[in-house]
Structure 1
Amino acid sequence: MFSHRVAALRPSPIREILGLVDRPGMVSFAGGLPATDTLPHPRVDLDPTTLQYGPSEGDPALRAVVSENLRGLGIDAPPERVLILSGSQQGIDLVAKLFVDPGTPVAVENPTYLAALQTFRFHGAAFTDLDWTDTPAAPLTYVVPTFANPTGRCATTAERDALARACTDGGVTLFEDDPYRELAYGPCDRTPIAARMRGGSWIYQGSFSKTFAPGLRLGFLAASDDLFPRLVMLKQAVDLHSSSLSQKIVLDAITAGTWPGRLTDLAAFYRRRRDTFDAALHRHFDGHATWSPPDGGLFFWLRLDRPVDTRTLLPEAITRNVAFMPGEEFYAGEPRLGTLRLNFSHADADATERGLRTLADLLTEQ
């Protein structure tokens, strides 16, 4: 009755957990939710054409602004090779449709972004571990090099240079996912890997969800000449084009003179939340886990001192009004037990203190 792909389809654990965020008293460290205080209050002067169908590639004015920014980063991304997405998750789906048949190898970091693993698995990918110093043993490499989800790690200059060379020389397509690069709190080489490639096949994507408003569901990608036309055709088959209204709201925001200041203020706001979270971790998790404060992004990655499968702790944590993401979900293969991802951007200081104390108490009981 259903396609063979659907047989292994499972609900997203993070989406199920996010359904609990609005429960009274719930403290959520689960999803990568921006702080509600940082969300904008846009006022849109609507022209009726904004509510009309638009080009599949996206609004030309928005594509031009995105192109200008990407070229400023060193990426070969003229406006005609910029595609506006209905969220960066759509970009992952389009790339999977373009490259992945059952059994197709895909090289990934381990651990890596859960939703990317789910999408590639749905299309039948066979995962291989990414070695930053060697040519990936796969036709497609997916990487989040800047403040990675879930670990918060930032790839070094040497690693970025090496992967760019390996993909170019080895005929491997690079798929670089970069939604957190503007949320930097410490020194890190954030120059995209795609900017280091001279020739070869590549896709670079970003998002407005972390810097502006996730509910607008708007992202973007740029790609090399050989890939871009096919990605556009795939998008045409999915949703014709991304929301014209969302594109108008984002365009007005990023072309306003206040946008650079917003990015600066946003990074400062999240740096304070990171530091508050780190201090609370030391109060409650010293003796339970080790971690490194991330230089950017939205997550702490904890390694517990004991190999506990944190998936077994989640149901009890939820009954105590705390949600988190078990780290085991982020592994392409056999998971490392005793890991968890904690989001620090959404909860305020009081909620952070209460939630981490509850988690620590639960670990002590276990």
Structure 2
Amino acid sequence: MFSQRIGGLAPSPIRAILSVIDRPGMVSFAGGLPATSLLPEWSGTVPAELMQYGPSEGEPELRKLVSRRLTDLGLDAPAERVMVLSGSQQGIDLAAKLFIDPGTPVAVESPTYLAALQVFRFYGARFTGLDDLSAAALAYVVPTFGNPTGVCLTADERAGLAERCLASGTVLFEDDPYRELAYDDVDRTPIAARMTGGSWIYQGSFSKTFAPGLRVGFLTASADLYPSLVMLKQSVDLHSSRLSQRIVYDAVTAPDWDARLAGLASFYRNRRDDFEELLRRHLGGLASWTTPGGGLFYWLRLHRPVDTRSLLDEAIARGVAFMPGEEFFPGDPELGTMRLNFSHAATDDADRGLAVLADLLRTACPDSVYPLEFRSTT
């Protein structure tokens, strides 16, 4: 009755967890939610033309604006090769539709973004690593404050990946939603800017810098790929919400936009630092981690290999949500890993939530003890 693809489709664990975060008193470390206090309010008259169908590629003014910003980053991204997306998740789906048949080799990091793995699996991808791209049709990477690890690739690592893609003819798919949320001085030059003569897709989002509920992302691609991506979008949703695009355009062109970005980085840097102190206090003897230089996540490795999926139901019952790290691996999972979001919960709530997690982990890992000094690396 259904297509063969449906047989491999599984519910998204992150969406299931997010369905409980509105419960009174729930502390969520699960999804990459921005701080609610920083989300914008919007009011105003809606021009009648925004209620009409629009171009599949997006509103021309917004595409020009995105083009200028991407060009400043070194990307070959003229406005005629910029597409507005209904959230960056749509870009992942379009790329998968373009390249993946059952058995197609797709190179990914391990661990990597859960929702991308879900889409690629749906279309039948066979996962490989990024070290050897000789057989890979597509190389998907989140190089700047990656999800789930928070890692930011160095300039040498970025150049090396670009060289391997060019040498093998592999299409680079660079997903870059966190680049504006930088708290330390690190290289954030897009890998796609180094892909002259090769095939590539680069995408970003306004969800982390403005409002995720509007579902506005953007994509640009090399000239050989862009027309096919447009046709795929036309077959999916005709065009993204024109009203959402106008709201984003008005925000980005407002005089205070750059100040807003600086304020976001300052706010989340302080929230990261507070979260770090709480991690040291509650989980210093149970896990290790690297302090992220940006983005929204801490990636924890427990000192004992407990499958954290087994702890989730009890954590939610006690008012705390988190993401088991095992869900982010393309192959066999590394047991004893967790992704914790630090941007959403206020400090007092994070303190309470981490205390609950520490209690659960001490029960699951009875041989772990608190050392005199916390175990983290920066």
Q: TM-score range by the shorter chain?
A: over 0.9
CA offsets 1:3-62 (integer angstroms, 9 cap, x no match): 000011111000000000000111000000000011011233321001110000000000
Corresponding residue of 1:103: 103
1:171: how far off? 0.8
1:136: how far off? 5.1
CA distance in 1, matches of 2:38, 2:84: 23
CA offsets 1:218-272 (integer angstroms, 9 cap, x no match): 1000000110000000000000000000000000000111100000000000001
CA distance in 1, matches of 2:85, 2:161: 26
Corresponding residue of 1:211: 209
Corresponding residue of 1:28: 28
Corresponding residue of 2:60: 60
1:135: how far off? 3.9
Residue in structure 2 matching 1:236, options 224, 234, 250: 234
Residue in structure 1 matching 2:171, options 170, 173, 187: 173
CA distance in 1, matches of 2:135, 2:73: 28
Under a length normalisation based on structure 2, what TM-score does the superposition of the two structures give?
0.95
CA distance in 2, matches of 1:169, 1:82: 26
Paired residue type of 1:202: W
Corresponding residue of 2:122: 122
CA distance in 2, matches of 1:30, 1:216: 20
Corresponding residue of 1:342: 340
Corresponding residue of 1:82: 82
CA distance in 1, matches of 2:186, 2:111: 20
- The CA RMSD over aligned residues, in Å, is 0.7
SS in structure 2 of the partner of residue 313 of structure 1? helix
Does the CA-based 8 Å contact 2:302-2:337 persist in structure 1?
yes
SS in structure 1 of the partner of residue 349 of structure 2? helix
CA distance in 1, matches of 2:261, 2:42: 16
CA distance in 2, matches of 1:137, 1:354: 48
CA offsets 1:312-344 (integer angstroms, 9 cap, x no match): 010111110100000000000001000000000
Structure 1 segments of 4 or more deviating over 3 A?
134-137
Paired residue type of 2:92: I
Paired residue type of 1:95: A
Corresponding residue of 2:18: 18
Paired residue type of 2:101: D
Corresponding residue of 1:144: 142
Under a length normalisation based on structure 1, what TM-score does the superposition of the two structures give?
0.98
Counting aligned pairs with the same residue, the percent is: 69
Corresponding residue of 2:221: 223
SS in structure 2 of the partner of residue 328 of structure 1? helix
CA distance in 2, matches of 1:50, 1:167: 40
1:164: how far off? 1.0
CA distance in 1, matches of 2:73, 2:45: 31
Equivalent pairs, count = 364
CA distance in 1, matches of 2:154, 2:50: 42
Corresponding residue of 1:290: 288
In structure 1, the gaps of 5 or more residues are none
Residue in structure 1 matching 2:190, options 189, 192, 196: 192
In structure 2, the gaps of 5 or more residues are 365-378
CA distance in 1, matches of 2:241, 2:223: 25
